[in-house]
Structure 1
């Protein structure tokens, strides 16, 4: 029965038509379902969401694209659970019948969060002819994963631009093997290998500053992970996309929505490493939107998880257990974003040493530490760290690192000391083609 007041009926989200719409990111059907369930007229719906009736009419008729901010706003106003807006590639709940066709205008702009379903229509490999199926066997997935593993190890000492061509080619190979695996017992492990390959390609594109390609590959990684039915891989790729949106794309609200989706998938009884890592990613998102209390709560949860006796032998796809120094590292990043420089410097001291990370990761940490020193008034040390990080960014051709240094410089509003002038000269040299970093 329609409910004109209060929250939507408790069974609304499990109704076959609405569940299918959530599974395919069909926002027009979801919003119309809420309107109908509450017994609202279209005008009442418009007043509830604080948009014009003509705009609402275009939305429910699939004629109006939605931005990320609009989707978040509508979901909040109408009580639509964000975690139920699926990335696509999953199976609708029992009894749900997915619509035969989804109008791409309904999710074009919302694609940054949940339009991997649309991505599936363009990147999903076609079923290979029967005579090629013999190319896939029990060795295919391990071989694909070993290639990705080797590329990841090389990333610590190589420029991303040198690795990208082979990484992208490897994604294409993995996708072809996935096409060949359809209808065989090897579909899930090959999907997992394809997910890892796309995730690494996304990482390299992000390092080169190609946000569009990075996001596309991260979405593919999420879709392929979900196809495997492997919960931890699904969470790992969702969390990786969340970290990208929070830290690289600087969209903490979007990242927080992805963290919540990952938490929903993860459940309450997961391995401590997975729980701690995801809590730390969430803490970064909360810090990015200025929510100190929630950030602190998430970090405390991570600390409890790493202290659990079972926090050893990390589960695939994690390589290392998530321990106290790693939580301290995230605490330092949170403190930088919350403008607590003294706390940040103390946390950095407790964290894993930057020298223990790859050169590019160490440079990223140096820029964060530079921000803490600048906020604390230690300008010389701040700019020394920034200059070292810039030199590393130039050496490896890492737009990720160079962009962090540029961002640090933009945020600095203190005195124009000699060290500030030196960094400005080095940044200017990048535009003129003459390196000031030796």
Structure 2
């Protein structure tokens, strides 16, 4: 281990930690909150690491950074030249260049040391890009947005590294958190669970580095929603919601409180706690009606209103198997004027479940077909997988619409258009 640390041999370091704990590689991946395939590539020397990734892995494994010569104030490249063999020295040099560790080019402007053009406009510019991407997500396929979003994550991380000794580091940490959070959302939409979780965890870490309470809450809540809805782990999601509520505190913007209460309601419903779920929804309804809820606080982009709460109330009804209540709530939540057609499609699948539970098979499968059309049009694995899950749960008679949906789903699997 000492030799591995001295030589920045992270595959050996990680494997040694795994062996010492008696973990499987899956256990190690869960501890690091990276995908198992990514961890496997790192351990096998098939995945190169950036400076920031080495730092992140060390922190998650509780390895003091100075032991791998990342924590001191000395020039990293010079230290690497002394301790690394020639091949690793070249790799380390590439990592240094990729990480933007060229502080010698800094120059003072108005008494402040500015690195690589980092100034008071850098973070707002990066945040504006993320905000624009998030708005485009409402009507654009995730596969079209993801390459740009990932490139933007790399850009914000580069700028964050460049700004590490400037007064702008906090703002750039926030910008990096937003960028990673959006990349996580897109990966989740495409069904890449490992990448989504990795980006969400990075978003939380960056938010805490920024020290911005609402951003911390937003990223924790987003991770909670992911674990509840996509990973189907309501217990873990509830724990994350409770942590976010602790960070938020009682005196905060009603949008934040209402949104978090709705995610908590979904978690409570997932574990069958009707009383707590109903109480959380009532809190959300009171908060969104407050006059100071008119303008959402950053990092929220859209107003969280009664329509949004109705959507969560409907989701809670589906999970608690109260179809009539769920259908009534969906009437308020699914509107033709909805700005996010993909999110409306997700709600339609849930509404389909409520109709199927109530015995209205034709309407249930009509809605499932509409949702599937949207999922295919936007290449949203999140929507398509919800439709597939709805079909797997259905145990009723094979009406004509049931057969139609089966034909569509089979066509998707074999890649031949139906009809």
Same structural fold, with TM-score higher than 0.5 when normalized by the shorter chain: yes
Q: What's the CA shift string for 1:174-213, capped at 9, x where partnerless?
A: 0000001111111111111111111111111111100000
Q: Contact conserved, 1:279 with 1:299, CA < 8 A, in 2? A: yes
Q: Contact conserved, 2:255 with 2:303, CA < 8 A, in 1? A: yes
Match of 2:56 among 94, 99, 120: 120
TM-score under structure 2 normalisation? 0.76
Secondary structure, counterpart of 2:291 in structure 1: coil
Q: Contact conserved, 2:334 with 2:348, CA < 8 A, in 1? A: no
Match of 2:246 among 264, 282, 305: 264
Residue 327 of structure 2 aligns with which residue? 345
Q: What's the CA shift string for 1:359-388, capped at 9, x where partnerless?
A: 211111111111111111110011011011
Residue 363 of structure 2 aligns with which residue? 381
Shift of 1:108: 4.7
Residue 30 of structure 2 aligns with which residue? 109
CA distance, structure 2, for counterparts of residue 435 and residue 331 of structure 1: 36
Q: What's the CA shift string for 1:236-291, capped at 9, x where partnerless?
A: 00000000111111111111111011011111111111111000000000111111
Shift of 1:145: 1.1
Residue 102 of structure 2 aligns with which residue? 129
Secondary structure, counterpart of 2:409 in structure 1: helix
- 2:156 is the alignment partner of 1:235: no
Shift of 1:154: 2.1
Residue 302 of structure 1 aligns with which residue? 284
CA distance, structure 2, for counterparts of residue 354 and residue 209 of structure 1: 26
Q: Contact conserved, 1:65 with 1:108, CA < 8 A, in 2? A: no
Q: Contact conserved, 1:273 with 1:314, CA < 8 A, in 2? A: yes
CA distance, structure 2, for counterparts of residue 67 and residue 327 of structure 1: 40
Shift of 1:153: 2.2
Shift of 1:135: 2.1
Shift of 1:391: 1.1
Unaligned runs of 5+ in 1: 1-58, 69-104
Match of 2:206 among 213, 219, 224: 224
CA distance, structure 2, for counterparts of residue 333 and residue 163 of structure 1: 27
CA distance, structure 2, for counterparts of residue 335 and residue 118 of structure 1: 44
- Number of residue-to-residue matches in the alignment: 340
CA distance, structure 1, for counterparts of residue 131 and residue 228 of structure 2: 25
- Closer/same/farther in 2, CA of residues 220 and 119 from structure 1, 3 Å limit: farther
Shift of 1:151: 1.6
CA distance, structure 2, for counterparts of residue 413 and residue 210 of structure 1: 29
- Closer/same/farther in 2, CA of residues 62 and 311 from structure 1, 3 Å limit: farther
CA distance, structure 2, for counterparts of residue 323 and residue 119 of structure 1: 40
Shift of 1:121: 2.9
Residue 235 of structure 2 aligns with which residue? 253
Unaligned runs of 5+ in 2: 1-16, 35-51, 60-69, 71-97, 107-114
Shift of 1:350: 2.4
- 2:26 is the alignment partner of 1:63: no
TM-score under structure 1 normalisation? 0.73
CA distance, structure 2, for counterparts of residue 317 and residue 310 of structure 1: 16
Q: What's the CA shift string for 1:382-411, capped at 9, x where partnerless?
A: 101101111111111111110000000011
Shift of 1:138: 0.9
Residue 259 of structure 2 aligns with which residue? 277
- 2:159 is the alignment partner of 1:203: no
Shift of 1:109: 3.0
- 2:213 is the alignment partner of 1:292: no
Shift of 1:62: 6.0
Q: Contact conserved, 1:363 with 1:393, CA < 8 A, in 2? A: yes
CA distance, structure 2, for counterparts of residue 341 and residue 118 of structure 1: 49
Residue 419 of structure 1 aligns with which residue? 401
CA distance, structure 2, for counterparts of residue 119 and residue 109 of structure 1: 18
Shift of 1:349: 1.4
Secondary structure, counterpart of 2:116 in structure 1: helix
Residue 408 of structure 1 aligns with which residue? 390
Residue 391 of structure 1 aligns with which residue? 373
Shift of 1:353: 1.6
CA distance, structure 2, for counterparts of residue 240 and residue 396 of structure 1: 22
Secondary structure, counterpart of 1:138 in structure 2: coil
Q: Contact conserved, 1:246 with 1:285, CA < 8 A, in 2? A: yes
- Closer/same/farther in 2, CA of residues 108 and 429 from structure 1, 3 Å limit: closer
Q: What's the CA shift string for 1:81-137, capped at 9, x where partnerless?
A: xxxxxxxxxxxxxxxxxxxxxxxx7x6534449xx9998237999572211613211
Residue 7 of structure 2 aligns with which residue? none
Match of 2:345 among 352, 363, 378: 363
Q: Contact conserved, 2:334 with 2:347, CA < 8 A, in 1? A: no
Secondary structure, counterpart of 1:356 in structure 2: coil
